[in-house]
Structure 1
Amino acid sequence: MTGGHDVADAVVIGSGPNGLVAANLLADAGWDVLVLEAAATPGGGARTAELTAPGFRNDLCSAFYPLTNGPAPLAGLGLTEYGLSWEHAPAVLAHVAPDLPAAVLFRDAERTAESVERFAAGDGRRWLEFYRSWLPVSDELLRVMFTPFPPVRPMAALLRRAGVARALRLARSFTLPVARLGAEEFSGQGARLLLAGCALHTDVGPSDAASGGYGWLLTMLGQQYGFPVPRGGAGALTDALVARLRGRGGAVLCGETAERIVVGHGRALGVGTAGGHWYRARRAVLADVGAAALYLDLVPADALPERLREDLRRMVMDGATVKVDWALSRPVPWSDPEVSGAGTVHLGADLPGMHRYAASLASGSVPEEPFMICGQMTTCDPSRSPAGTESLWAYTHLPQRPEWPRTAVEDVAARMEAQLERYAPGFGASVLARHVAGPAELEAENPNLVGGALGGGTAAVFQQLVLRPVPGLGRADTPVDRLYLASAAAHPGPGVHGGPGANAARAALARDRLGGGYAATVRAANRLVYGRP
């Protein structure tokens, strides 16, 4: 790094997983890379702290990582060489609903089949067939997802692997509402609950188009790979990414808040910070920030087409979030012992209840019965808390509003605890300490979590592919030459997999390698969509 970190080939704004994946891929190509992070520590949504009580390690945001396997960009970085190791709970996922036994997903498909068979004769066999149909196409499907639009080569490979007839049926399954997909494939509630709960996990309701694809993807990833967690906490993933980057000569500067991206003659030249520092970028600026933060705050208004700025005002964020962390004196006292070994627990709603929950959010109302996603972190990784205790978190969603009063957040937290007490009598008596974060606190901790939204924008089908974050190219390139959007606001969207960061790095490398011809093509395509700046 030259100039005392003042000049680099690439300046990356934000040290979340996407920013660090992008930085690592550029460093692999021999680029001089500098990452600017506003917070005191790197990691964005992948950080760990003692939020509740001494000895209890709590993940600040993301916790489970099913998308770090197979062809995912993160999987190719060899992070185990930098101290990262993965842990698994005895069971991947349990769905707990009123008046029903728990439906449990295990990494052993036969055990999952036994669980769903309890709900309807024949569903165990159907589950195994469902899973067997996934395995031959899983890598190709993920490559399609992680490739910038249009994914020509991965799609061709998928067609060769699956055949046209099977590929057409896969496409139909992906576009179905998950309630319909579950009803077509299974007779009983167990498998349907697993699918629908995983769809809600990704911010789409059971009657929404393409929720079937999300539910299928996440359950099958859990079946194939589990929901692994980094030993010691989510921050261990960040530590490994930072160590890998530094080993290749890259640098991460914390406490540096990007205030503006300097643009000259249509090209990104560097980044100015709130502290008055100027970091020049010889080749590229990559932004692991929200779309609105990039286009409405960091880039000068006269450098962007007005149509793009208008589209951004129509961008839909995913739901607001209330997250509670607890330090427990013992494991959660579940009424159903099948739940005790699950790392992830979907809690509080059967299929009609999930419909009501999603409808309340869509209508702008607070759901009466919160559907909760819970993480039993000590069950996954004994290093997360003292022996015999449990480090537990749960979150639920609220509608997006400009502001949520603290009293409303505390009321939701009380409802969450009542739900836990309902399914785990004696839960309250085991609480040693707790930490409640509402939308305001989540955004203050990580500005990318706008309004407490975890996904950088809704994952609904109307805001995916070439429609993410707004109608455009479906690529990391922006209307400003050598500026790239590298966050979950870009395709392929939310989840810790490194896809947006990898796409941004590849775009920067292609622009640098192909030169003005590449830039002219992107510029012409953007003019077709947005008009001139």
Structure 2
Amino acid sequence: MTARSYDVDATVVGAGPNGLAAAVTLARAGLSVRVFERASTAGGGAATADLTLPGFHHDVCSAVHPLAFESRFFREFGLTRRVRFAVPEISFGHPLDGGRAGIAYRDLDRTADGLGTDGRAYARLIRPLAERSTGVADFTGDTLLRIPRDIPTALSFGLATVEQGSPLWNTRFREDVAPAMLTGVASHTILPLPGLASAGAGLALTAYAHAKGWPIPIGGSQSIIDAMVDDIVSHGGEVVTDHEVTSLDELPSSRVTLLDVTPRALSRIAGERMPERYRHALARFRYGNAVAKVDFALSDPVPWSHPELHRAGTLHLGGTRPEIAAAENAVAHGTLSESPYVLVSQPSLFDDTRAPSGQHTLWTYTHVPAASRADRSEAIIRQIERFAPGFRDTILGISSRTALDVERHNPNYPRGDISAGTPDLAQLLRRPVLSPDPWQTPMKGVYLCGASTTPGPGVHGLPGWHAALSALRNDFGTRALPDLSPEPASTPE
């Protein structure tokens, strides 16, 4: 019997961060790799484009990258040796009424000094995690069904999560600034508050804020994507754009196929190849609520009332902890808040490639019920004006996308769900199915590698990296980790 010949060793569907992470890993293992992407450029949730006016470069989805320095994949890949980052001294700011604000400096002690009575309590909560931020990233970046390598860090993280994810979340605080700051970060998850999953994500992100900071890639998120594409191509791989895959039968023959798609899309693409039992398991996977995104071209920086907010790379708007919880819980119940939580990034303050000289870009989104058709630009403007009177006068151009627009741009965000599946505790354990190897499907050589798989959403490349390692184990018989480190020529100037 002769061995079967293949067109390539591996095909990858989807050139978002996870698909590209899978392709990088397989190409570095010496395999021939071909990536197919439906859009005209690679990037997915980490693309950069001119959305408002010529010369204003906006990140299409992700803008600030707390895991760029902490993700195991990016550490192996040597991302900081390939891409230049700006790291604001203030990781995030949280404005409150009356010109007050919570300021999360990278320096935890400086942050605590600004929190008055609650400063010591905030530091006691965050310091054990910030000092072990890489351990936190490794624990949360793998399937929770595995025994953590750093058990003390996992225990500290678990205890803090139980406190901040339950009705006990206010017990250590006496004032309103510190709890508002923690709630602003936890609200990235688009989940009801308080909750264990939102608390865990918020605590991890806060730890990174006080460890290595929340970096902003120079040139936009596309810089991260371009570095990954360059590495794939330099190791013999190929990235084919403007090529939508609707069936596994359309792909060239290969030993393995990795799909950076949702479980819903996999069921459609696999067709009759998929066992019914697995199809039913995927059908139980739940998608969450959504975002409405608004990008601004500005004549001037945002005129924040609190002067330190001009130096913050990220801001969380919405007011106090009870106000933000009410806004997020309204979305969870299918309604829009009149005073929404708004996530804001100001990249042009730190990267002068983003806008014409003297002008600025502003990136924002707010949470809405799944499949919402609501244009939230006016609601976002009002919330910014609440903390930055005169903001409206700086606006030169607006690009607004509803939740359905977000899905149309990227089908991996069903009904506008940028998490590609609700990231609550049950679905962090079962993402997309309960398994120690959730990336492998029952179909021979077929793997899921998108954000709908463990460890979930975010620009960190981990689902793709884990899926590629699974394919190397199961189909190529190797447990060796490919060397992903950059050649000296890859180091940015």
Does TM-score exceed 0.5, indicating one fold? Answer: yes
Cα distance in 2 between the residues matched to 1:356 and 1:128: 26
2:54 matched to 1:26?
Answer: no
The aligned counterpart of 2:490 is none
Please name the residue that 2:59 is paired with: 59
Q: Which has the higher contact order (CA 8 A, sep 6+)?
A: 2
CA drift at 1:387: 2.8
Counterpart for residue 115 of structure 2? 116
1:192 shift after superposition: 1.2
Write the distance in 2 (CA, Å) between the matches of 1:177 and 1:80.
32
Q: Which residue does 1:487 correspond to in 2?
A: 450
1:245 is aligned, of 223, 232, 246, to: 232
Tell me the SS of whatever aligns to 1:89: coil
Q: Equivalent residue for 2:320?
A: 350
| C-alpha deviation, 1:377, in angstroms | 1.3
The change in CA–CA distance for 1:374 and 1:179 in structure 2 (over 3 A counts) is: farther
Q: Report the equivalent of 1:414.
A: 378
Deviation at 1:8, TM superposition (A): 1.0
**2:308 maps to amino acid:** E
Q: 1:222 Cα shift?
A: 1.1
Q: SS at the partner of 2:8?
A: strand
Distance in 2 (CA, whole Å) between partners of 1:344 and 1:180 is 27
**Relative to 1, partners in 2 of residues 1:290 and 1:324: Cα closer, same or farther, differing over 3 Å?**
same
SS at match of 2:45: coil
Aligned partners of 1:7 and 1:279 also within 8 Å: yes
Contact 2:292 2:367 in 1 (8 A): yes
Structure 1 residue matching 2:469: 3-state secondary structure = helix
Choose which of 269, 279, 282 in structure 1 pairs with 2:252: 279
Can you list the C-alpha shifts for 1:79-119, whole angstroms capped at 9, x where unaligned? 3554x1111234110112334611111112222112222xx
Superimposed CA distance per residue, residues 241-298 of structure 1 (whole angstroms, 9 cap, x where no aligned partner): 1111111111100011111114xxxxxxxxx1xxxxx4111x2100011111012x11
Q: Which residue of 2 aligns with 1:267?
A: none
Give the partner amino acid of 1:49: A
CA distance in 2, matches of 1:387, 1:172: 48
Moved more, 96-105 or 166-175: 166-175
Q: Distance in 1 between matches of 2:409 and 2:120?
A: 46
2:395 corresponds to which of 431, 444, 461: 431
Aligned to 1:529: none
- Give SS of 1:475's match: coil
The 8 Å contact of residues 204 and 211 in structure 1, kept in 2 or not, is answered as: yes
C-alpha deviation, 1:180, in angstroms: 4.3
Q: Alignment partner of 1:300: what SS?
A: helix
The match for 2:291 is 321
Q: Which residue, 143, 147, 150 being the options, matches 2:142?
A: 147
Q: What is the identity, as a one-letter code, of the residue corresponding to 2:35?
A: V
Paired residue secondary structure (1:210): helix
The one-letter amino acid paired with 2:276 is E
Secondary structure of the corresponding residue to residue 396 of structure 1? strand
Aligned mates of 1:128, 1:209 — CA distance in 2: 20
Q: Which amino acid aligns with 1:448?
A: N
Cα deviations by residue, 1:4-62 (Å, 9 ceiling, x for unpaired): xx921000000001111111111111011110011111111111111111221101111
In 2, distance between residues paired with 1:27 and 1:187?
53
Partner of 1:289: 261
Give the counterpart letter for 2:418 in structure 1: L
Aligned-residue RMSD, C-alpha: 2.0
In structure 1, distance between residues paired with 2:166 and 2:348: 32
- What is the rounded CA distance, in whole Å, between the counterparts of 1:244 and 1:168 in structure 2? 37
Match of 1:202 among 174, 177, 189: 189
Mapped contact 2:10–2:257 kept (Cα < 8 A) = yes
Q: Distance in 1 between matches of 2:274 and 2:162?
A: 33
Letter in 1 for 2:310: S
Q: CA deviation at 1:144?
A: 2.3
Determine the structure 2 residue equivalent to 1:224. 211
User: For the residues of structure 1 that align with 2:439 and 2:433, how far apart are their CA atoms?
Assistant: 12
**Residue matched to 1:45:** 45
Instruction: Map Cα deviations across residues 150-207 of structure 1 (whole Å, 9 max, x no partner).
Output: 434xx1x312xx2xxx754542322444464642443322221121111111222322
| Superposed displacement of residue 473, structure 1 | 4.5
Instruction: Tell whether the 8 Å contact from 2:129 to 2:136 is kept in structure 1 after alignment.
Output: no
Partners of 2:56 and 2:326 in 1: how far apart?
35
In the other structure, the counterpart of 1:103 is 102
The 1:182/1:387 distance shift into structure 2, 3 A limit, reads farther
Contact 1:365 1:399 in 2 (8 A): yes
Residues 390 and 71 of structure 1, relative CA distance in 2, 3 Å threshold: closer
Share of identical aligned residues, percent?
A: 35
Q: CA deviation at 1:436?
A: 0.5
The total of aligned residue pairs comes to: 473
Q: What TM-score results when the alignment is normalised by the length of structure 1?
A: 0.84
How many angstroms apart in 2 are the aligned matches of 1:376 and 1:59?
A: 11
1:178–1:196: 8 Å Cα contact kept in structure 2?
no
Q: State how far apart, in whole Å, the 2-side matches of 1:350 and 1:73 are.
A: 36
Structure 2 letter corresponding to 1:79 = L
Contact in 1 for aligned 2:48/2:58 (Cα 8 Å): yes
Give secondary structure in 1 for the equivalent of 2:246.
Answer: strand
**Cα distance in 2 between the residues matched to 1:128 and 1:320:** 32
Give the distance between the partners of 1:373 and 1:349, measured in 2 at CA.
Answer: 12
2:424 to 457, 460, 467: 460
Aligned-pair CA distance for 1:400: 1.2
Unpaired segments ≥5 residues, structure 1:
1-5, 263-271, 273-277, 516-533
1:333 aligned onto 2:296: no
Describe the shift of the 1:137–1:181 C-alpha distance in structure 2 as closer, same or farther (beyond 3 A). farther
Structure 1 residue matching 2:150: 3-state secondary structure: helix
Q: Counterpart amino acid of 2:305?
A: S
Match of 1:265 in 2: none
Pair 1:257 & 2:228 matched: no
